[in-house]
Amino acid sequence: MNETTENSSLELEEVAELFRLVYPAFIVEIERAEATRGQLKEFHLAMAAEHAKNSVRILGWDSRRTLNAIFETYKDIYLLKGRIAADMWARETFGCTPEVAIHDPEGARALEEKIEAMQLLIQDKEAELLHLYREIHMLQEMYAIKNQPVVTVKGITPSDEGEPS
């Protein structure tokens, strides 16, 4: 085996491992979309693949391109033969099992609700913090004005300022 073949083989193994790593996120996204839309179209499959790829850091362009080809093959099988056939292909080719991706829908829903609640809390805290920043800025300006040195004009003292001469 020459060096190019060894590198190619090693890269394929790395990409296969990467696919096994992102597969659960991919299946979860497919299940979520299928629950609302039924069998998915090409666009939704591409979105699920993109979501799964974004869940991990992919370093090399070649790895990303190879992973895209794997998702493209999965998509083609899904569209032609259905989800079961595509999942079987992933299991036979890469050792991926849908069982790895099975999740508790109620638990996932509870997590989504908790995430939304936390996002709202963060927005509230950001608004509160912005209000506090404005208030402290106003107080700092007032402090700076109040602590400016008093400039007197020759012959006029600060107590004379309010009285007409």
Backbone φ, ψ for residue 113 (5° rounding):
-65, -40
Phi (first) and psi of residue 63, to 5 degrees: -65, -45
Q: What pTM does this model have?
A: 0.54
C-alpha dihedral (92, 43, 47, 70), degrees to nearest 10: 30
What local confidence, expressed as pLDDT, does residue 157 receive? 58
Q: Indicate the average pLDDT of the chain.
A: 78
Higher pLDDT pick, 77 / 147: 77
89 and 122 in a common domain: no
State both tokens at 7: 């590198």
Mean pLDDT check: name the lowest of 47-56, 113-122, 141-150.
Answer: 113-122
Shared domain for 70 and 132, answered yes or no, is no
Q: Is 65 contained in some domain?
A: yes
Residues 79 and 21 in one domain: yes
The domain tally of the chain equals 2
The sign of the torsion formed by the CA atoms of 26, 27, 29, 34 equals positive
Report the range of poorest mean pLDDT among 47-61, 62-76, 94-108.
94-108
> According to the model, what pLDDT value does residue 87 have?
92
What pLDDT score was predicted for residue 108? 60
Domain that holds residue 137: 104-148
> In the predicted model, what is the mean pLDDT of residues 135-146?
92
Residues 144 and 87 in one domain: no
Q: Is the pLDDT of residue 68 over 70?
A: yes
Instruction: Tell me what the mean pLDDT of segment 9-16 comes to.
Output: 69
Let me know whether 108 and 134 are in one domain: yes
Residue 90 and residue 71: Cα distance in Å, rounded?
A: 10
pLDDT, greater one: 113 or 24 = 24
Judge whether residue 24 has pLDDT over 90. no
The total number of residues written for the chain in this structure: 165
Residues 17, 98, single domain; the answer is yes
pLDDT on residue 159? 58
Between 34 and 155, whose confidence is greater?
Answer: 34
